[in-house]
Structure 1
Amino acid sequence: MSPLPADRVQQHRPFKNCGVDYCGPFWTHYKIRGKRPHKVYLKVFCCFSTKAVHLEVVSDLTTQAFLAALKRFCGRRGLPAKIYSDNATNFVGAYNELSEVKEAIFAEEAQALIHKTCANLSIEFKFIPPRAPHFGGLWEASVKSAKHLLKRTLYTATLTHEELETIVIDIEAILNSRPLTSVSSSPRDLTALTPGHFLIGEPLTASPDIHQSRRRTGLLTRWKRIEQLRKEFWTRWSHEYLHELQNRSKWTRSCKTVKIGDLVIIKEDNIAPLNWPLGRIVAVHPGKDGEIRVAEIRTTSGNITRAIHRLAVLPINEKKEKTDL
């Protein structure tokens, strides 16, 4: 297991580095008799540092709707520096209901438009390797939580677009109020650090203080006070919560890895019986720690990129070497 990426452990403002994913579809109804319901989707943004969640209702899976939701997100959360997204093959393999995303967002023309728009906003847009959804496990967990809450809410409900928007924002508040770590070790302290602390400076469920001082304070003084509180939250985050993320529960030992020239079997989804996709590794992409986790394979239909857990190395070369000896 590799160390956490630098974007996960640095003290950035919320949503400076984030991941994005889709879930759905969901149905919205009109208050007009005989009018058919409309299919909508949910776009999920997850902050890398604080695990805060931002949810956007998207009317369709066109590139224009994707960019419109991105602009709404930037207008409320600020411009991110990096946005990570799944690859098209992850949607087709894991989300059958989102197969339309392949044509709407991951087509060459759509990707060019997305990259151009993000470049104009100084945003770096990155795609994780194909067939490797575990590379985006952080935002996949947020999608799972949002879908779980939505399905429980919408099980028998017929909602309008406005009602769905209200429920989605309520679910966003629920996810941003989940506890991350304890604020102090005192047995009498029942408060916990939440993503809401980094968004508004206190839990989203906190009651407004009616005993605030009536003394006038300038905007600059108030801004300095908010910055002081924010630094305290980041100090607690780095001293308590960050250490919990460093635990490695599996893949603690190195094993034999792939190398250029290896003949491999490629694990693909929905392959017909008696069909064994083969390829030859032509390039490897080591991580910052030197470990190889992604490789480029030459196949009969062209070069593809896959994570190494989708590859099975054939021991033909080893047998040949032993024979030569």
Structure 2
Amino acid sequence: MLLNTLRQRFWPIRGRDLVRKVVDKCLICFSCKPKSIQQLMGSLPAARVTPSRAFLKSGVDYCGPFYVRPPSRRGNSMKIFVAIFVCMASKAVHIEMVYSLTSGSFLSALKRFVARRGRVTDVYCDNARTFVGANRQLQEHKQLFDELHRSEDLTNKCTKVGINFHFNPARSPHFGGLWEAAVKTFKHHLYRIMKDTLLTIEEFNTLITQIEGIMNSRPLTPLSSDPADVVALTPGHLLVGEPLFQIPEPDLCETPINRLTSFQKMQQKIQHFWKVWSSAYVGQLQDRQKWPMAHPDIKIGTLVLLKNESTPPMKWNLGRIESAFPGRDGRTRVIQVRTANGSYRRAITEVCPLPIDDVIEANRSTSATSSILIDQNQT
């Protein structure tokens, strides 16, 4: 329409390219349809590719709410949530019921998780208020404990047992794809089994525990390339040495003891599982299914629009990038944006840089050319 309007009075050379360039640099048109930026998908964190005890480094996320009945089957239905802990190395899952979104309720679930799965050194999660509040409470408890016990040996031991929280940027679920996929798989099984049935708390707890066993029996990679070998490596192999749900084996009670496997062979078998995990499974994780191309890093001081799904693009807040947080590969995927309402940490996919820098550079080049022509005319 703009090109046709111009052609009523003028016939610009390469008018289509000229109109496209002007429209792309128009701030009003850009605000109506902003374009976010991308970067090459980052490398896997060390916790994903380093063999370690199951659940030593875990990710966690909530899903729900779900409605259940009291054990007596009387009274109104109650609302509960589900916390899913995912092992960063083996993809094994641990599911806990949570009765509220408070930090205290999450801490109780975390204590149950540690009591059944062992000590956890690192917890990866989004920056929901529940997790941030739990991290704050743990830090306060540790500080009070250090103030009461000034012994250096005791303090060092407690520091080693501490849990480190790693938070993702706000509104960036793709930073936690591991536990987001676990939540999706959990809901896939839950909705197909539960359907519209209103279960009691005991029935619901039994159901989610069975789903946990199913998820821990998922195949990760074949144990060998032999076509006759139908056994696949599962998270259950790395937990208990075999899938949690497997085909029943024959009774070995009548088998002579000299034909049974020993404890050392069992340990060797578990080490073989980790060897297959390192050689076959980790290699599959290196493929970048999304964002395969590298792009120039966004510069500090760039004017951007801050995405907000609850408002139209024309009303998005305007901000300026005040700092960047490069990853281990040196590429920036998280930035700090200063707006009129405060400072926010966001992923680069949540901001849309305004095409104003190119306009400034074009004006500068035009001004430089004009000054050169003026000097030549004066000469």
TM-score after normalising by structure 1? 0.87
Aligned-pair distance for 1:127? 0.9
Q: CA RMSD in A?
A: 2.1
* Secondary structure in 1 matching 2:179: helix
Aligned-pair distance for 1:262? 0.4
Matched, 1:309 2:349: yes
Pick closer, same or farther for the CA change 1:298–1:33 going to 2, 3 Å.
Answer: closer
Pick closer, same or farther for the CA change 1:252–1:273 going to 2, 3 Å.
Answer: closer
Matched, 1:112 2:136: yes
Which deviations, in whole Å up to 9, do the C-alpha atoms of 1:303-324 show, x marking residues without a partner? 1000001111112122212222
Match of 1:140 in 2: 180
Matches within 5 A, 1:98-247: 102=129, 105=130, 110-116=134-140, 121-206=161-246, 207=248, 210-211=251-252, 215=257, 222=263, 224-247=264-287
Aligned-pair distance for 1:116? 4.2
Aligned-pair distance for 1:298? 0.6
Match of 2:303 in 1: 263
Alignment partners' CA distance in 2, 1:116 and 1:41: 26
Alignment partners' CA distance in 1, 2:42 and 2:199: 44
Structure 2 letter corresponding to 1:185: S
**Identity across matched positions, percent:** 43
Alignment partners' CA distance in 2, 1:180 and 1:291: 30
Matched, 1:86 2:126: yes
Counting matched residue pairs gives 304
Alignment partners' CA distance in 2, 1:193 and 1:118: 39
Alignment partners' CA distance in 2, 1:115 and 1:139: 24
Residue of structure 1 aligned with 2:66, choices 9, 15, 26: 26
Alignment partners' CA distance in 1, 2:227 and 2:280: 16
Alignment partners' CA distance in 2, 1:31 and 1:293: 48
Pick closer, same or farther for the CA change 1:179–1:33 going to 2, 3 Å.
Answer: closer
Cα contact 2:71–2:202 (8 A) shared by 1:
no
* Secondary structure in 1 matching 2:76: coil
Cα contact 1:17–1:80 (8 A) shared by 2:
yes
Bigger fraction of residues in helix? 2
Task: Identify the range of structure 1 (250-259 vs 170-179) with the bigger mean alpha-carbon deviation.
Answer: 250-259
Match of 2:376 in 1: none
Alignment partners' CA distance in 1, 2:179 and 2:73: 38
Cα contact 1:118–1:125 (8 A) shared by 2:
no
Alignment partners' CA distance in 1, 2:320 and 2:112: 44
Aligned-pair distance for 1:142? 0.2
Which deviations, in whole Å up to 9, do the C-alpha atoms of 1:61-99 show, x marking residues without a partner? 2222111110111111111221011123xxxxxxxxxxx
* Secondary structure in 2 matching 1:304: strand
Structure 1 letter corresponding to 2:136: A
Aligned-pair distance for 1:51? 0.7
Which deviations, in whole Å up to 9, do the C-alpha atoms of 1:112-170 show, x marking residues without a partner? 11444689641111110111110001100000111121112221322111111110111
Structure 1 letter corresponding to 2:175: F
RCO comparison, higher one (Cα < 8 Å, 6+): 2
Alignment partners' CA distance in 1, 2:200 and 2:242: 32
Pick closer, same or farther for the CA change 1:110–1:8 going to 2, 3 Å.
Answer: closer
The unaligned stretches of length 5 or more in structure 1 are: 89-101
Structure 1 letter corresponding to 2:194: L
Cα contact 1:263–1:278 (8 A) shared by 2:
yes
Match of 2:46 in 1: 6
Match of 2:146 in 1: none
Aligned-pair distance for 1:249? 2.5
Structure 1 letter corresponding to 2:191: K
Cα contact 1:83–1:125 (8 A) shared by 2:
yes
Which deviations, in whole Å up to 9, do the C-alpha atoms of 1:208-232 show, x marking residues without a partner? 553266649xxxx73x444322211
Structure exhibiting the larger radius of gyration computed from Cα positions: 2
Structure 1 letter corresponding to 2:171: R
Alignment partners' CA distance in 2, 1:245 and 1:208: 32
Alignment partners' CA distance in 2, 1:124 and 1:118: 12
Aligned-pair distance for 1:193? 0.6
Aligned-pair distance for 1:255? 1.5
Structure 2 letter corresponding to 1:41: F
